[in-house]
Structure 1
Amino acid sequence: MQTLEGHSNSVLSVAFSPDGRQIASGSWDSTIKVWDRESGACTQTLEGHSDFEGHCSWVLSVVFSPDGRQIASGSYDRTIKVWDRESGVCMQTLEGHSDCVRSVAFSPDGRQIASGSDDHTIKIWDRELSTYTQTLEGHSDSVLSVIFSPDGRQIASGSDDRTIKIWDRESGVCMQTLEGHSDCVRSVAFSPDGRQIASGSDDRTIKVWDRKSGTCTQMLEGHSGWVAGRRSKC
């Protein structure tokens, strides 16, 4: 058992590297820390997110690229930054959202990033072009979680509007809207075969959905508080 200590404020997001050897964490202290999984030592502190007045800005989401060479972070400063894992240098700053970025996800091939924001949209970014190529609109409130399907053909999103939406990656069309949670959907995840989706909510439940039919096949209860994090508005 390990306790990783070093942040000076609440930790909002954590992610394992693909090889399981490192952990990245994003915090209200405006930093991303990279930890060695075996020793528990902090090996890097990444700094650079700042608001429009130059003050440090909260890091709300972190994720490793599929090859483990980069880390993407979403922030209260409305940007996504992509960091070189080895050097700790910020390689890209992606700008386009009009409100804070709640969630970031790499496509399976690492060429694209999806981001969910309090501006109610999801943006799809081309890594090579350093710009967004699509804006997915349909949620009526903050987009709190985004993830690509294992084959990269769909994107799932969870929102403060209490729904999960499934989007066709190529066309940007919303294919399904899954409803059943009684509070905001904080987290979404595809099963490895892409046939199911799990969602965590502030209604204290986890629901498992059949991807094809859109029906809830299981509801897991037992938590005494919100599932998948702290409820907070930027």
Structure 2
Amino acid sequence: MLPDNTIKLWNLKSNKLLQTLTGHSGWVTGVAISPDGQILASTSYDQTIKLWNINTGKLVNTLAGHHSYVWSVAFSPDGQNLASASADYTIKLWHISTGQQLYTLGNHSDWVNSVAFSPDGKTLVSGSRDMTIKLWRCAI
């Protein structure tokens, strides 16, 4: 079965499909929900991150800047920023409300597969195909 490049939102109690989000031109590789439950971020082979309003299903913003597949994203605990992990060996930090790219972290020697923030938002952790896990002090 080939992927259809969509994201499907389900009601877990009724098992009913609520919405199908379409907009990526490549396989969807990861999703994350903002701490307030209002925004869904999705990553894709199309090298973008898309931000969606969960209530309406409307596309809010497309974040572009990676030069290869984007594997995963994580919201900061305050919901103001987003970290993205890419096959271009970098992590990018984004400001949610403006869509502005704040920083690029590039100390891995292979694909960065995952990112996560510590509960206090002061540390970002990244995991890479280079078989390392790195801790980054956040200055945002």
TM-based fold match above 0.5: yes
Letter in 2 for 1:48: G
Q: Could you say which residue in structure 1 is the equivalent of 2:68?
A: 99
Per-residue CA distance 1:111-164 (angstroms, 9 max, x = gap): 100000000000000112212110011110000000111000010011100111
Identity among equivalent pairs (%): 51
Pairing 1:1-234 to 2, within 5 Å after superposition: 9=2, 28-50=3-25, 57-170=26-139
C-alpha separation in 1, matches of 2:98 and 2:55: 22
What's the secondary structure of 2:15's corresponding residue? coil
Under a length normalisation based on structure 2, what TM-score does the superposition of the two structures give?
0.96
CA distance in 1: counterparts of 2:23 and 2:27, whole angstroms:
10
Hey, what's the Cα distance between the residues in 2 that align with 1:40 and 1:169?
A: 39
User: Which ranges of structure 1 fall in alignment gaps of 5 or more residues?
Assistant: 1-7, 10-27, 51-56, 172-234
Counterpart Cα distance in 2 of 1:154 and 1:146: 11
User: Counterpart of 1:87 in 2: which secondary structure?
Assistant: coil
Helix, strand or coil: the match of 2:55?
Answer: coil
TM-score (norm 1): 0.58
- Alignment deviations for residues 149-181 of structure 1 (CA, whole Å, 9 cap, x no partner): 10000100111001110001118xxxxxxxxxx
Unmatched tracts of structure 2, length 5 or more: none
Considering only aligned residues, what root-mean-square deviation do their CA atoms show, in Å? 1.1
Alpha-carbon distance in structure 2 between the residues aligned to 1:127 and 1:71? 11
CA–CA distance in structure 2, aligned partners of residues 86 and 170 of structure 1: 31
Structure 1 stretches (4+) deviating beyond 3 angstroms?
none
Give the letter for the 2:21 counterpart.
Answer: L
Question: CA–CA distance in 2 between the matches of 1:147 and 1:157?
Answer: 7
